[in-house]
Amino acid sequence: MKTLKFLFLEDSSTDLELIQRELKRAGVEYIPVHVQDREEYLRAIEDEKPDFIFSDYSLPNFDGLSALTIAKEQCPTTPFIFVSGTYGEDAAIQTLTRGATDYVLKDRLVKLVPALRRAIREIEEHKALRRAEQEKFEIEEQLRQSQKVEAMGFLAGAMAHEINNPIMAIIDYAQLISKGEMDIDKAQKIASKIKQEGERISVMVKDLLRFARQEKAAFEPVSVFALISKTRSIAEQRLKMSRIQLELDIHTNLPSVMCKEGQILQVLLNLINNGIDALNQRYPEYDENKRMIISAKPEEIGGKSWVRIAVEDLGSGIPQEIGKSIFNTFFTTKGADKGTGLGLSVSLGIVKEHGGFLSFESSTNEYTRFFLDLPAV
């Protein structure tokens, strides 16, 4: 463990000696940095990077409250302990309110080391908390990526089947042109069709790649209509293969939402994939009731503007006893080869990070309706 560096803001050499003697008596090892005025104090904070600051409350050409304000601006995590002879109850309350770690009276220096150890303990607790938060964040990121890969497996399979159709058309058109038996007008028409089929493939692949990209972007205003359009484009092939009708009911003039676009796409695609599974479970073949509805409308919650996106399927529904657990990590009703159970747990975490809500209502063998509520810009 490194030796701590203590910055002492003290104008009395006698008081400084008494303070340092108390620390030495307790066996505290440290590197001392002594300053007496504002200029020296500012320079020491910048150059020495102290681990602790001990400050008198009253100095001839400087004051402790100003020193505390500077410390909170320049090194906000550095503990700041007042050691003063003139320190009333009002001053104590004021300094603690402004962010001081503790205060000790000079005629009661026996309390200095306990205050120091208490501050050190709090630092270790904060470090442990930050490590735990970082580990939690990393685990959540891994879960999100795992769920994204899982969703991509479904989508890529459907897309591969769909891409095959335009590719075969391009091959057939190319073979016709290669024979050299057609006039220029017909060749141009066929070339135009090849271009259309190529662009169709390009759109599908770009949408899938955009979804698959590891997202590092910041929050930004995003059109809800654009979100739903991209979601439909990515999921379209799987919906077609399952012979599911997708209906949209989007309110006009919807406000934008502040979000990480890729993450909200991930949530919507997860809800759609779950809806497809529920519809295929209830209707293995084509059925006129094999439908999914995505709607979006403005809401007002707590006097603030929100946007509610609903994803509804007329599938098998969620039994009441299962509904209590669907947001739990790794909970799944599917077989071991059908998914990890990460989807709704990860989706809930994403929505909470966006300051929103994810809820649902369902009736067995009738419908399931998920509500994604996001704050409007």
Q: List, in order, residues 6 or more apart from 43 with CB less than 8 Å away.
A: 35
pLDDT digits (tens, 9 = 90+) for 293-313: 999 999 988 889 999 999 999
What mean pLDDT comes out for the span 117-132?
89
Distance CA 88, CA 94 (A): 10
What mean pLDDT comes out for the span 263-285?
90
Residue at a domain's end among 52, 76, 107: 107
Lowest mean pLDDT among 12-26, 194-208, 305-319: 194-208
CA-based R_g, the chain, Å: 32
- What pLDDT score does 54 carry? 96
Lowest mean pLDDT among 58-62, 234-238, 305-309: 234-238
Distance CA 139, CA 280 (A): 32
183 domain residue, yes or no: no
190 domain residue, yes or no: no
43 domain residue, yes or no: yes
Task: Tell me: do 249 and 100 sit in the same domain.
Answer: no
Label residue 204 by pLDDT band (50, 70, 90). Answer: low
Asked if the model's pLDDT at residue 371 lies above 90, the reply is yes
What mean pLDDT comes out for the span 156-164?
63
Asked if the model's pLDDT at residue 216 lies above 70, the reply is no
Asked if the model's pLDDT at residue 279 lies above 90, the reply is yes
223 domain residue, yes or no: yes
Task: Tell me: do 221 and 366 sit in the same domain.
Answer: yes
40 domain residue, yes or no: yes
Supply the range of the domain harboring residue 365.
216-376
186 domain residue, yes or no: no
What mean pLDDT comes out for the span 258-265?
87
Return the higher-pLDDT residue of 164 and 336: 164
- What pLDDT score does 338 carry? 47
Distance CA 318, CA 228 (A): 24
Label residue 147 by pLDDT band (50, 70, 90). Answer: low
Distance CA 237, CA 164 (A): 12
Q: What CATH number did the domain enclosing 259 receive?
A: 3.30.565.10
Task: Tell me: do 236 and 353 sit in the same domain.
Answer: yes
Asked if the model's pLDDT at residue 337 lies above 50, the reply is no
**For the chain, what is the mean pLDDT?**
84
- What pLDDT score does 340 carry? 38
Q: List, in order, residues 6 or more apart from 29 with CB less than 8 Å away.
A: 3, 4
- E-assigned strands of 77-204? 80-84, 102-105
Label residue 332 by pLDDT band (50, 70, 90). Answer: low
159 domain residue, yes or no: no
pTM of this prediction?
0.50
Q: What CATH number did the domain enclosing 19 receive?
A: 3.40.50.2300
27 domain residue, yes or no: yes
- What pLDDT score does 342 carry? 44
Total domain count for the chain? 2
What mean pLDDT comes out for the span 218-227?
91
- E-assigned strands of the chain? 4-9, 30-35, 52-55, 80-84, 102-105, 220-222, 245-250, 257-259, 291-301, 304-313, 357-363, 367-375
Residue at a domain's end among 92, 107, 122: 107
**β partners of residue 308:** 297, 373
Task: Tell me: do 255 and 372 sit in the same domain.
Answer: yes
**β partners of residue 80:** 53
Distance CA 271, CA 368 (A): 10
Asked if the model's pLDDT at residue 360 lies above 90, the reply is yes
What mean pLDDT comes out for the span 113-137?
88
* DSSP-derived 3-state class of residue 76: coil
Residue at a domain's end among 38, 73, 107: 107
**β partners of residue 52:** 6
- What pLDDT score does 335 carry? 46
CA distance between the termini of the chain: 48
